[in-house]
Amino acid sequence: MAELLIGQVLAYHGDPFVEGTGAARHMTRGGVLVEGGKIRATGAADDLRAAHPEARVHDYGQALISAGFVDAHVHFPQTAIIASWGKRLIDWLNSYTFPEETRFADPAYAAEIAGRYFDLALAHGTTSMCSYATIHPASVDAFFGEAQRRGLRAFAGRTCMDRNAPDGLRDTAQTAYDESRALLTKWHGVDRLSYVITPRFSPTSTPEQLSALGALWAENPSCLMQTHLSEQTDEIAWVKGLYPAARDYLDTYEMHGLLGTNGVYGHAIHLEPREKDRLREVGAALVHCPTSNTFIGSGIFDMAGLKAAGQVVGLATDTGGGSSFSMLRTMAAAYELGQLNGAALHPAQLWWLATQGSAQALRVADRIGNLAPGMEADIVVIDLASTPVIAQRAARAEDIWEAIFPTIMMGDDRAVAAVWIGGKQAVARAD
């Protein structure tokens, strides 16, 4: 049966960093017609009701109907250690991340955390995500199995490390290649799932391992490849010591076949001019992780400058180095960092980053991240008056952006009225 969602509808037909707020289309009383897992039509609510009297109507009143949020950089195995106190990157890995990831050798624990992660992500309106798993194949199976059960479009890969990691979390160049290839063959392209080739970052991989994963990517160029790049200054110094022949951090990937259009590079805060030029030349994606960047003291991502230069940029929580599962909180942090950098991001830009921008970074902007006929029906419904303090500010709004901005800055999972995955209701708090 066709489903008709009615409320305020927000969609994009361009990039607001390039075209301004005119890149967005807002309908005060709009509708989204869903059938067969896809969006069949959008338009004025009354027109769609008249044209499709057979559709089951879900009237959300003044709530905002949007494409679901797309989280472009996640560590689902860090779900249980989110908001752990007081460490910079290398200390964080040794004190919290590596001990927790060791537990994923147990398939039952991996399955438990995967289920918990997806419950939390969906409750916050996130309908697609790109995650690092652990070195254990069972962690990838747990993530994809749970995503498949829920009908999600999801991305993940086995995290590869063959040095500078504890016993039980190191592999070899050969096992990284073999086990990644086996998981890729098992999961890539199954239902709505995509395998991502995943070296954690250059400090935890030898040149031999990076080359092996570069070879795997060359053999499977339709896959994404995700890693970390230039997150902290002490990390960059570490990389220079480990790779003395490299021109810069990015070159440690490029010289081993790990720079390309389908590359997704998390953080990318402290980039050299050559690195920026090469990333833009190949069309690789950068992912801004603002709550993580502040929480572990990494630095300020130059969103305005990088977008003005033509870089592809997505947005992410970076759970659990990031301190929230919420893309609303992530947008708020991106705004705050933009202010510190002298560039206030407009609500139209922030919302685009959390939907269409992240979908572009993951090379699926033709399928998710927007509301348009033919797109997959992953939808979030946002209550723009979810708490008294938000409601009193939104009541004074003179346009849609003033109405949305208080929810960006102060909203949480209470703002998520409903979530639709593939045309089916997955979360329903009001209808």
What are the residues facing 421 on neighbouring strands?
Answer: 424
Q: Which of 230, 346, 210 is nearest to 289 (CA)?
A: 230
What dihedral angle (degrees, nearest 10) is formed by the CA atoms of 84, 70, 155, 338? -60
What backbone phi and psi angles, to 5 degrees, belong to 74? -135, 150
Q: How far apart are CA 329 and CA 307, in angstroms?
A: 21
Q: Where on the phi/psi map is residue 7: left (φ > 0), alpha (ψ -120 to 50), or beta?
A: left
Query: At 153, is the pLDDT very low, low, confident or very high (cuts 50, 70, 90)?
Result: very high
pLDDT at 3 over 70: yes
Give the position of tokens 């998981």.
Answer: 183
Task: Give the residue-averaged pLDDT of 147-175.
Answer: 97
Whether residue 431 has pLDDT greater than 50: no
User: What residues pair up with 146 in beta bridges, in sequence order?
Assistant: none
Other beta carbons within 10 angstroms of residue 25's beta carbon come to 15
C-alpha closest to that of 430 among 419, 412, 413, 418: 418
List, for residues 70-83, the tens digit of each pLDDT value: 999 999 999 999 98
- Which tens digit of pLDDT belongs to each residue from 126-151? 999 999 999 999 999 999 999 999 99
Identity of the amino acid at 95? S
190 phi/psi in degrees, rounded to 5: -80, 125
268-291 pLDDT tens trace: 999 999 999 999 999 999 999 999
Domain segments of the chain as ranges: 3-68+369-428, 69-361
Model pLDDT, residue 88: 77
Distance CA 63, CA 379 (A): 12
Question: Can you read off the two tokens belonging to residue 333?
Answer: 């942090």
Alpha carbon distance 403, 66 (integer Å): 14
Token output for 290: 């603002």
Cβ partners under 8 Å of residue 240, min gap 6: 246, 249
What pLDDT, in 10s, does the model give residues 379-412? 999 999 999 999 999 999 999 999 999 999 999 9
Residue spans of beta strands (DSSP E) within 98-179: 126-132, 153-157, 159-160
**Closest of 134, 166, 160 to residue 212, by C-alpha:** 160
Residues 409, 411, 414: CA angle, nearest 5 degrees: 180
pLDDT per residue over 33-53, tens digit each? 999 999 999 999 999 999 999
State the pLDDT at residue 428.
86
Q: Is residue 200 scored above 90 in pLDDT? A: yes
Residue 93, pLDDT score: 83
Residue pair 27/21 in contact by the 8 Å Cβ criterion:
no
Provide mean pLDDT across the span 310-316.
98
Average pLDDT, the chain: 96
φ, ψ for residue 288, nearest 5 deg? -85, 125
pLDDT digits (tens, 9 = 90+) for 178-198: 999 999 999 999 999 999 999
Cα 401 to Cα 318: distance, rounded to the nearest angstrom: 26
In this structure, of 28-37, 90-99, 391-400, the range with the lowest mean pLDDT score is 90-99
Q: Which helix (H) or strand (E) holds 187?
A: helix 173-187
Tens of pLDDT, residues 318-345: 998 889 999 999 999 999 999 999 999 9
Position 16 confidence tier, pLDDT thresholds 50, 70, 90? very high
pLDDT of residue 362: 98
322 with 289: CB under 8 angstroms?
yes
Side chain identity, residue 156: A
CATH number of 69-361: 3.20.20.140
Taking the whole predicted model, whether its pTM rises above 0.95 is answered as yes
**Average pLDDT for residues 227-253, to the nearest whole number?**
97
Structural fold of domain 3-68+369-428: Urease, subunit C; domain 1 (2.30.40)
pLDDT higher than threshold 80 for residue 166: yes
Closest CA to 422 of 142, 192, 194: 192
Contact 31, 48 (CB under 8 A): yes
